[in-house]
Amino acid sequence: MRAPQAPLPTVSARWLLKAASLAILAAALCAWLTLCLLFWQGSWQLLYHPTAAVTRTPASVGLAFDPIGFATTEAGEPRLRGWWIPAGSDAHYNRYTVLYLHGQDGNLGDTVDALAALHAVGVNVLAFDYRGYGQSQFAHPSEARWREDAEWALQYLTATRHIAPGTIILDGKDLGANLALEIAAAHPELAGMVLESPLASPVDAIFRDPRARLVPAHLLVRDRFDADSAAAALHISSLWFLETLAPEQAGLPEKPDAFQKVTAPKMLVWLTPSPDATMDFENSLSRWLDDLRP
């Protein structure tokens, strides 16, 4: 006689519902963590827009220059590449060297006209591409890397070219102006700093993106470019160039918060779009250089 079979185990509907809910929550968490990872890896593209092909050089406007490479790796390869544009031997301000920090878009090839204006004033110029830009080493741009690149450029000027820090002037454009402000605040031994159209809130380009609302963007992104804090810590003379409409049309806008926080000597110049803008820039820079300490 066959023994009675044991009853099959049963699973309660409550257990099935709980297991399904946990599986859905786990899948949603994995999807959200993946989204966080993708945002962390790619959010830099919302702020930085580098290009690789350098299509213009100072030679295109008749300037003599030396291609340079510095900040070499252990294998002897330069991480950063740029241009050295010497002032003429009889140039009025050839005792000064300008370290030019370009903005977040393009590369050195887009700065040729700006470098020509600096050369016309009569200063030496060092301009370079950050990592990830132009012919410099490939790497995703970030505030930390930009600062490191700028520090390497300063070291190249002082250690390789033996230029006295007290004769070096930082000149930054757009996001490069925010970088110049941070570097200048950390180097009170420099002669001065020129800011061209610094950005009031650059990282808003990241945090205002719709995808930033789905992730803890402020925890994932470390870039800040806090101009106000850097300005408050500034101890060297600064010249600020800000763009505006013609004054008779709109009047001058309010001075930026960062400028108002500077306690060191400072000068503000409003530039209006006009054929004379470059001349106004050169004249204002010359007047400011005249007032710098020898």
- Could you give the 3-state DSSP secondary structure of residue 257? helix
Q: Find tokens 């092909």 and name the residue.
A: 53
Enumerate residue ranges in the chain where pLDDT < 50. Answer: none
Using DSSP bridges, classify how beta strands 237-243 and 124-128 pair: parallel, antiparallel or unpaired: unpaired
Confirm whether pTM is higher than 0.75.
Answer: yes
Residue with tokens 């779009």: 273
Structure confidence at residue 201 (pLDDT)? 93
Q: How far apart are the first and last CA of the chain?
A: 114
Q: Which amino acid is at 145?
A: R
Give the closest residue to 257 by CA, choosing from 278, 279, 240, 236.
240
Q: Output the pLDDT for position 7.
A: 65
Residue pair 130/44 in contact (Cβ under 8 Å)? The answer is no
What is the pLDDT at residue 275?
A: 86
Looking at residue 21, what is its pLDDT? 87
pLDDT at residue 251, as a whole number: 65
Answer whether 287's CB lies under 8 Å from 259's CB: no
